[in-house]
Amino acid sequence: MRENESVAENPTDLRTRDILLFTAAVFILSANVVTIYYLLLNQDIFVNGFWVMLREFRGQLLQHPNGAATTLFRSMQHNTYNDLGIVPLLPLSFVFGLNRLGYTLNLVNVYFIPSFVIYFILIDAIYKQNDRRFLLMGGLSIALIYFAQPHFWYLTFRGHIDIGVLIMLNGIILFLFHHPIRKQRLYHLLLLGLLCAIAILFRRWLSIWITALFVSLAGEQCCLWLCRKIHRREFFYSCLKLFLAALCALALLLVFAWSVTITALSTNYHELYSAYGSSGNFFTGFWSTIQVLGLSSVVIALVSIMYSFARFPAVRSLIVFLVVQSLVFFVLFFRIQRFDPHHFLGLLPVILLSTGLCVSDILLRIRSLILRLLIFVIIAYFVLSNILTAFFFPHYIHPFTTLSPHFFTSMRLLPRVREDMNEFNKLRMTLNTLIDESPGRIYVLSDGSVLKFQLLQYAYVSFLDGPDQVNKNTNMTAVVDKVNGFPQNFFTAKYVVVANPILSLIKPEDSQVMHILADALLQGKTFAHSYDKRPEEFHLDRGVTVSIFERKRPIRKTDIAKLSSEFRAIYPDHPKIFSISVPQNLLSE
């Protein structure tokens, strides 16, 4: 009897639960349908480093479970791209499979959807409201805002696990909202340090975001003290707590990633990543950021920030803190390297939070259902235009683009249809035949979207074949000179695949090693006398012609000396990584 009375007394709770479940179901279904539709439009050779790591780690887990745990720990200790991010993908990999579609659906359901759930919880924690109509319209609007962020879909379609970054960032912000630094106890500080350490272990570039977080938290406490909002003693206690939380995070990183952490603390990343650096000043970088986000999204975000600041006094400090933290993150990161699509995730928390609060509050304050629906349609129109422009219809005509060509995002990742699939497969099969007849390793002198070593190594998956000789015998290509130095695995390769024109995703002056080696083979200079050019030629997309060079004769020591002198003259500050070591059995006088 009491159970019946309890149910009868709480019909609103049941309706609220049903509405939330409906919103979640719509979001989950839509995310999976869009993913499937986009991938079905693609006819491409897919490769992604994390996808490769998942395939290899799952294979090791099935064959040697104990060895897989050791591999995970060692990767966290020594590798910039470790296996931690792929571990949550393992269970659903047995459901969806390991092809491109299965892997991408895995990302959507393991990272994309949970990150939205945490975001929704954060909005709900800030703005508690049980009105059924508000939950329906507000919930769907918040879901639409999150759903239509082009950065999420770009990373998802490219197969980046960085899509899970928002789980970490939203989780840390939610934690700080419930437990402000001044009110945290020891176990709160330990938990904050743990969250920060996990975020950095998940993706190394988040160390800059975490640094900006602590700098902004310290600045916030300093401002409160200077404005006499807190006493000096409370200020020093807050700073001590921040120091303890940062110390806890550092200690955990030293335990689980000793080698990488020490390297990170002692490395000048501004110089190391100069190949990925931004050209121009901060204003240029700021304008390029606006172009990527889209002028309409930036304007909506700024209006939402001001609206949320005025409308929600209880979260003003949080809004200001997130704005400052985002600016600090932008300045710190821009100094080291340019913003790639996954790095923009560090700027999204304040945009998503303020926009979600603004839209929710406006919908709540409007009593007319028709007007609510109209606003919802307008929001859908703007946010979906961003998605359509970026991923499906690049020439989508929108009346607002006449005002500014940057009204919507400049990001583009259209479904790709390669016209050279048969030619690429012919290249792969030719290399397989050569290795069967005369075993040897392969080195690829190309790093473009048409041809790079990963595409060649894992092309068998796109052609629905099993692992082949090319997969087992392809060496990694050294691309960034100051990071990789001279590739010691170049001269040990028997077959060199060269693209003409030479392809590179970074500036030529930062990948001179690859260009000099390729040019020597194409022009027949220095060490090229040791190689014979095969008669086969392969014509790929974008006018790229691919040739195969086979090492037939020993390499002269004088050629090695000339090559080493040339690279040391180009990079006099890095003599160690440009020393060339060749096995004695491959050398001649």
pLDDT attached to residue 141: 73
pLDDT attached to residue 245: 94
Q: Is the pLDDT of residue 407 over 50?
A: yes
pLDDT attached to residue 402: 54
What pTM value is reported for the model? Answer: 0.83
Q: Is the pLDDT of residue 379 over 90?
A: no
What is the per-residue pLDDT across 115-133, written as a single tens digit (0 to 9) for each?
988 888 887 777 664 444 4
Cα 222 to the center of its chain, rounded Å: 33
Q: Is the pLDDT of residue 66 over 90?
A: no
Please tell me which residue, 278 or 549, carries the higher pLDDT value: 549
Torsion of CA 253, 255, 257, 259, to 10 degrees: 120
Q: Rounded to an integer, what distance in angstroms lies between the CA atom of residue 484 and that of residue 573?
A: 14
Which residues, in sequence order, are CB contacts of 155 under 8 Å at separation 6+?
Answer: 162, 163, 341, 342, 345
Q: Which long-range contacts (CB under 8 A, 24 or more apart) does 250-259 make?
A: 251/193, 252/193, 252/194, 252/197, 253/197, 253/200, 253/201, 256/73, 256/76, 256/77, 256/197, 256/201, 257/76, 257/77, 257/82, 257/201, 258/77, 259/77, 259/78
pLDDT attached to residue 268: 60
- CA angle centred on 105, ends 104 and 111, rounded to 5°: 85
Tell me: cis bond preceding 501? Omega within 30 of 0 counts. Answer: yes
Q: Is the pLDDT of residue 272 over 80?
A: no
Mean pLDDT over all residues of the chain? 84
- Residue 499, classed as helix, strand or coil, is strand
What is the per-residue pLDDT across 235-246, written as a single tens digit (0 to 9) for each?
899 899 999 999
Q: Do residues 500 and 547 lie in contact, with contact meaning Cβ atoms separated by under 8 Å?
A: yes
